[in-house]
Amino acid sequence: MSTHLPKVAWIGLGIMGSPMAENLIKAGYDVTGYTLEAAKLERLAAAGGTAAGSIAEAVRDADVIVTMVPASPQVEAIAYGEDGILAHARSGALLIDTSSITPQTSVDLAKAAADKGVRVLDAPVSGGEAGAVEAVLSIMVGGEQADFDEAKPLLDALGTTVIRCGPHGAGQTVKAANQLIVAVNIQACAEAVVFLEKSGVDLNAALEVLNGGLAGSTVLTRKKENFLTREFAPGFRIDLHHKDMGIVTDAARTVGAALPVGSVVADLVASLRAQGDGGLDHSALLRGVERLSGLPVRD
């Protein structure tokens, strides 16, 4: 391990967190991780990281602390708890939160951390599980320019598009917009799939030619096989996209921005979740369109 690289604590080793932490290890970083699932800690150790028994143990000697947890309540729990990050991180440490949470939560965290001498960047990511595994994530960052400059080499080991978008909370605001665009895009693709199949067109051929023109998108590239096979193993769960659509609709209401299409798609995501599909990949929005179109949903 290089002595020139900062010592990293990683909190949260789920679908996204595990491959991201492993990419830091591959890049030469000394990574100590903590998560609630023992199997994920074993995976980290097998990849060359160090498993910690608590958040306090993981962060105590860390120069940089990276967090990747599901939502604002989890960020607040790991940051503010008695065994939490702010209680045990050393003064001068840099906390990079890659979770997707409300912009206000990020702003509040930065203020609370400053009182403890801890610097904070909100750095949510886009690209899903495949992007995390391949280290090609898009990372949108909020915080001080100097802290971003310090974090940039580490973030470059996780993604290919790493951009500071403004002050604390700006990264989360851009991520909310990202989730709006992705949800609307998936819904449009899902509606096209059902329309094409009901019209008797070869779906594989149709999606291939559509993806070569203006209708093409990263969403269609990444989710084409899901649409063709109706396999919806979670790369990004409907439950989490439901949470994110709540963030963007609330944030938009706060600033007075209308989301006429986004609001409808937010309802469709909520509906899919209510029908028991919350644990599936967000490409399962196709199942909602199939139900509305009177098609049998394949289980």
Is residue 125 domain-shared with residue 201, that is, in the same domain? Answer: no
| CATH number of the domain within which 35 lies | 3.40.50.720
Is residue 116 domain-shared with residue 249, that is, in the same domain? Answer: no
SS3 of 54, please? coil
Percentage of residues of the chain with pLDDT beyond 70: 99
Rounded average pLDDT over 199-225? 98
Output the CA–CA distances (angstroms, integers) from residue 157 to 86, 134, 145, 151, 237, in the order listed.
25, 10, 19, 10, 24
SS3 of 146, please? helix
Is residue 162 domain-shared with residue 133, that is, in the same domain? Answer: yes
Which residues constitute the domain of residue 245?
173-292
Rounded average pLDDT over 190-210? 98
Question: What is the structure's pLDDT at 297?
Answer: 87
Is residue 83 domain-shared with residue 188, that is, in the same domain? Answer: no
User: Measuring CA to CA, which residue among 223, 235, 221 is closest to residue 280?
Assistant: 235
Is residue 101 domain-shared with residue 182, that is, in the same domain? Answer: no
Question: What is the structure's pLDDT at 6?
Answer: 98
**Domain-embedded: residue 193:** yes
Is residue 126 domain-shared with residue 211, that is, in the same domain? Answer: no
Question: What average pLDDT is seen over the chain?
Answer: 97
**Domain-embedded: residue 125:** yes
Rounded average pLDDT over 210-223? 97
Which among 111, 132, 166 is the end of a domain?
166
The predicted-structure confidence for 33-64, as pLDDT tens digits, reads as follows 999 999 999 999 999 999 999 999 999 999 99
Cα torsion 17, 75, 251, 262 to 10°: value is: 40
Is residue 160 domain-shared with residue 254, that is, in the same domain? Answer: no
The predicted-structure confidence for 103-120, as pLDDT tens digits, reads as follows 999 999 999 999 999 999
Question: What is the structure's pLDDT at 298?
Answer: 82
Is residue 18 domain-shared with residue 110, that is, in the same domain? Answer: yes
Ranking 63-67, 233-237, 241-245 by mean pLDDT, the lowest is: 233-237
Residue 262 has pLDDT above 60, yes or no: yes
Angstrom distance (rounded) from CA 127 to CA 227: 18
**Domain-embedded: residue 70:** yes
| CATH number of the domain within which 249 lies | 1.10.1040.10
**Domain-embedded: residue 297:** no
Residue 1 has pLDDT above 80, yes or no: no
Look up residue 287 and give its amino acid: R
What is the count of structural domains for the chain? 2
The predicted-structure confidence for 161-190, as pLDDT tens digits, reads as follows 999 999 999 999 999 999 999 999 999 999
CA 140 to chain centre: 11
User: Measuring CA to CA, which residue among 245, 265, 128, 260 is closest to residue 188?
Assistant: 265
Which residues are the active-site residues?
A: 175
Which among 111, 140, 166 is the end of a domain?
166
